[in-house]
């Protein structure tokens, strides 16, 4: 049975929403250096960097990692 156009649209929206809002730990670590540089330069955070911030809020492991990085920066 083929999915209806309605179902396809829903699926695409779900995928888009996931990509826009969530990154995993690997992605987080890949971006965190850039994030720190931006923070230090007090630049406005790009939307993709807000995903880093978002991940910090939901992932205790990366929060810990991030705190360690911050400490080493100061």
Task: Provide the H-helix boundaries in the chain.
Answer: 5-21, 25-41, 47-58, 60-73
Q: Is 22 helix (H, G, I), strand (E, B) or coil?
A: coil
Stretch that binds Zn ion, among 7-15, 25-33, 34-42, 44-52 (CB under 5 A): 25-33
- Of residues 15, 17, 25, 30, which one binds Zn ion by CB under 5 A? 25
Q: Sign of the C-alpha dihedral, residues 21, 25, 26, 30?
A: positive
Q: What Rg do the C-alpha atoms of the chain give, in angstroms?
A: 16
Per CB under 5 A, contacts with Zn ion among 45-74 are: 59, 62
User: In the range 28-47, which residues lie near Zn ion by CB under 5 A?
Assistant: none
Closest distance of CB 49 from Zn ion, Å: 15
Name the site residues for Zn ion (rule: CB under 5 A): 25, 59, 62
């Amino acid at each position: 049975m083929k999915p209806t156009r309605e179902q396809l649209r829903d699926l695409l929206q779900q995928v888009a929403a996931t990509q826009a809002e969530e990154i995993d730990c690997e992605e987080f670590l890949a971006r965190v250096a850039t994030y720190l540089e931006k923070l230090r330069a007090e630049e406005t955070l790009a939307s993709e960097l807000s995903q880093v911030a978002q991940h910090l809020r939901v992932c205790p492991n990366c929060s810990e990692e991030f705190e360690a990085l911050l400490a080493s920066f100061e």
